[in-house]
Amino acid sequence: MGEPRDPEPATESRTAPIVAAGTTLSPVQEAYSACTTHALGCPKCRDIDRDRCIDGDRLRAAYLEISNQAYRRLADETP
């Protein structure tokens, strides 16, 4: 009998991308991503003691609008 071996590392979970290639984000996810990506790179939006910049405000308003529409659609479709 050979030496006990460590189990093979699960290469699949290590190499699998978080979002599969060719997968598109939903409009809500895209709006949220645009909002957070901007906020992380914008010194004014990143500082919680300051107001958001105009772009940050627009992106946040767009995200809220899109997500509210999605919630309304869900509520309408739910019996």
Q: Which residues bind Zn ion (CB under 5 A)?
A: 42, 44-45, 53, 56
> How distant, in Å, are the alpha carbons of 3, 11, 19 from that of 22?
43, 21, 9
- Taking the complex as a whole, the smallest distance from the CB of residue 17 to Zn ion amounts, in Å, to 28
Q: How far is the CB of 26 from Zn ion (least distance, A)?
A: 23
- The answer to whether 59 and 35 are in contact (CB under 8 A) is yes
* Chain position whose Cβ is nearest to Zn ion: 42
Nearer to Zn ion, 42 or 62 (CB): 42
Are 38 and 69 contacting, i.e. CB atoms less than 8 angstroms apart?
A: no
